[in-house]
Amino acid sequence: MAEASVTRKKWCKAVWCEGKANVSHAVPRDWIDKAMKRVYWPRANSSAKKLIERCEPRPRDVTGRKSWKWFQLVSCSASCDSLEEAEGIATTDHFDVSVGEDEPEHRDANISK
């Protein structure tokens, strides 16, 4: 049964605004909220790498959400089956993250490989 949950884990390459700079990183797909155009990030940067590698979901409860910050999402790639695949995606700053609910999650948002 644990195997089924592992196969659903997806990663993507996201670009977000941090201050005046755009930051690009491969993250678990669950850290992206396209409807709100946000990427969620743990407050403790030292733990981010471990959370990414384990594909930990972002917290949904009020207390847990306070331990995470969010940034304005610039773009997000299509879902990848592996962290390595997501890390290998080259990004540009010309992305459109507006996605309707009926659009498939695997839409490629102007990501060049």
* pLDDT of the residue at 107: 34
Kindly report the pTM of this predicted structure.
Answer: 0.68
Tokens of 11: 């990663």
- Count: domains in the chain: 1
> Quick check: is 38 in a domain?
yes
Is the pLDDT confidence value at 16 over 90? yes
> Quick check: is 47 in a domain?
yes
Name the band, by pLDDT with cuts 50, 70 and 90, for residue 110: very low
How many CB atoms are closer than 10 A to CB 16?
24
Is the pLDDT confidence value at 91 over 90? no
What is the span of the domain harbouring residue 18? Answer: 2-87
> Quick check: is 102 in a domain?
no
> Quick check: is 110 in a domain?
no
Write the pLDDT tens digit of every residue in 25-77.
999 999 999 899 999 998 877 778 888 888 888 888 878 878 889 999 999 88
Q: Could you tell me if 48 and 41 are in contact, meaning their C-beta atoms sit under 8 angstroms apart?
A: yes
Q: Which amino acid would we find at residue 111?
A: I
